[in-house]
Amino acid sequence: MEALTGGEPMGEGRKFRRPAMLDPRVAEEIPGDMDPALRSEIAHDTANALVSRARATASSDPALVDRLLRLVETEGIEILAAMWSASAADTLPGALWRLYLLREWTRHDSRLADRYRLGTARAEVDEVVAGVAAPPGLVELRDLADAVLSGVFTGDLDIALNRAAAFCRIVSIGTALDADLMDSPAAATEATRHAGVLTTTAEDLERAARRWRAGTLD
């Protein structure tokens, strides 16, 4: 996922760069000098508004939240992804940021399908999915993320997050196996590191799912 952002791995508490595909016109709508506390509050407000499909009643800056949500309808999710990108992993905007990165990653990583197949062949699926009905494939993961990020997902968010986590764990296994097959030590080291990032991302999503079930994911 860091290949999409050009930044650090997706561990908890990291700061992330804006998505590379953010249109400059849209980026101008995000106040660059906004107070970090207000920016964080708006990230939470917009995430909650998107998931609930309600227009925000936040006390922070409801007019700005409403403007950002309307921009999503006309410009795409990138505008909110930029707002969510600095959020901690165990928050709703942090979880949505990771879903956004996963969706973009499935569109751009040419080795992903092969690594998913490797991981599926090796993984103990029951252990990997931890109660999830079935781990999603590439298309299913992308469709799931699309539904959540467009505000039309009608299922249980914790199940969606756990399914995304299962996807990460399977690809992590496949990436580690792929590293073992590589002739280049540098490439193998990078693949092994990326497998670790995927495992961390799975843990982040699983923790977010638990907090959603407990009613504490905000």
Distance separating alpha carbons of residues 194 and 177, to the nearest angstrom: 12
Residue 4 pLDDT > 50: no
pLDDT digits (tens, 9 = 90+) for 95-104: 999 999 999 9
Of all helices (H) and strands (E), which one includes residue 53? Answer: none
The better pLDDT of the pair 34, 7 is held by 34
pLDDT digits (tens, 9 = 90+) for 12-40: 333 333 343 444 444 455 555 567 788 88
Residues 6+ apart with CB under 8 A from 87: 40, 43, 44, 47, 93, 94, 97
Which of 21, 28, 34 lies closest to 76, judged by CA? Answer: 21
For residue 209, what pLDDT is reported? 95
How much of the chain exceeds pLDDT 90, in percent? 47
* Mean per-residue pLDDT, 120-131: 65
* Mean per-residue pLDDT, 197-208: 95
Residue 195 pLDDT > 90: yes
pLDDT digits (tens, 9 = 90+) for 136-179: 899 999 999 998 988 888 889 999 999 999 999 999 999 999 99
The better pLDDT of the pair 135, 44 is held by 44
Residue 77 pLDDT > 90: no
Residue 110 pLDDT > 70: yes
Radius of gyration of the chain from its Cα atoms, rounded to whole angstroms: 17
For residue 130, what pLDDT is reported? 52
**What average pLDDT is seen over the chain?**
80
* Mean per-residue pLDDT, 105-114: 90
* Mean per-residue pLDDT, 95-121: 92
Residue 216 pLDDT > 50: yes
